[in-house]
A and B are shown apart, each in its own frame.
Chain A
Amino acid sequence: QKEVEQDPGPLSVPEGAIVSLNCTYSNSAFQYFMWYRQYSRKGPELLMYTYSSGNKEDGRFTAQVDKSSKYISLFIRDSQPSDSATYLCAINAGGTSYGKLTFGQGTILTVHP
């Protein structure tokens, strides 16, 4: 079993839709949870960063962590064509593994006008 599982999609939605992206993980030691966005032929860029369970909102983006279920989500409201990209969840165990990120496979999202 992979440490982090993410549905690769692809996911195609109309402009204005609410998008839900999800990952599950197996190691309860994971403490830090991130979402990265990667445009074609570019490096991943950090979108959201959360520590422990709960929600974090930044504009149209909301990151949600449920440590009891080992489940993390990213919601995009009022999706735009410019949101079309690959979204990667990333998790950090902290402690002696601080700094080491484990990534999901990435979900390819297309928002069509």
Chain B
Amino acid sequence: DAGVIQSPRHEVTEMGQEVTLRCKPISGHDYLFWYRQTMMRGLELLIYFNNNVPIDDSGMPEDRFSAKMPNASFSTLKIQPSEPRDSAVYFCASSQGAEAFFGQGTRLTVV
């Protein structure tokens, strides 16, 4: 398996624009996570899914953030409208047990 695949790797956008981050989990994994990493706050869990169903979205910072998982092999994290404080590295991870496997991340810069 190629591991967790995220796209794009880098995204630079202007404040107010919509941003969509994409994730393909490892085949057979039934959990999918979206994390955000910043120097100040470290790695924060935004939302996670089990069998495509959102289980806990308490980490989603605002209504501007939304996530979907239409099927077992694809998930999106959308920010609309984006703000400079959303600049961070966003990671997707998947698991079928207690340990999670991470993608390479999307580095988002909002100017």
A interface residue numbers (CB < 8 A to B)? 31-32, 34, 36, 41-46, 49, 51, 88, 90, 92, 94, 98-106
Asked if B103 CB lies within 8 Å of chain A CBs, one says: yes
- Min Cβ gap B97→A in Å is 8
Interface residue count on the B side (C-beta < 8 Å)? 22
Once the chains bind, are A46 and B101 in contact (CB under 8 Å)? yes
User: With the chains together, A37 CA to B50 CA distance in Å?
Assistant: 25
Complex Cα spacing A105 to B4, Å: 23
Q: B102 within 8 Å of A by Cβ?
A: yes
B34 adjacent to chain A (CB < 8 Å): no
Q: Is the CB of A99 within 8 A of B50?
A: yes
Per-residue CB proximity of B80-111 to A under 8 Å, as 1/0?
A: 00000000000101010011111111010000
Known contacts A32-B98, A34-B98, A92-B98; decide if A100 and B91 are in contact (CB<8 Å): no
Number of A-B contacts (CB under 8 A): 56
Bound-complex Cα distance A30 to B55 (A): 19
Quick one: closest B residue to A6, CB to CB? B42
Query: What chain A residues lie within 8 Å of B56 (beta carbons)?
Result: 100
Contacts of A42 in B (CB 8 A): 104-105
A103 touches B99 (CB 8 A): no
Give residues of chain B (55-94) contacting chain A, Cβ–Cβ below 8 Å: 55-56, 91, 93
Beyond A32-B98, A42-B104, whether A101 also contacts B33 by CB under 8 A is yes
| B43 contacts the other chain (CB 8 A) | yes
Most B-side CB within 10 Å, residue of A44, A51, A103, A106: A44
Nearest-Cβ distance from residue A8 to partner chain B, whole angstroms: 8
Q: Which residue of chain B has the shortest Cβ distance to A32 in the bound complex?
A: B98
Known contacts A42-B104, A100-B56; A49/B98 CB under 8 A:
yes
| Complex CA distance for A5 and B21, rounded to whole angstroms | 30
Which of chain B's residues has its CB closest to A44's CB? B102
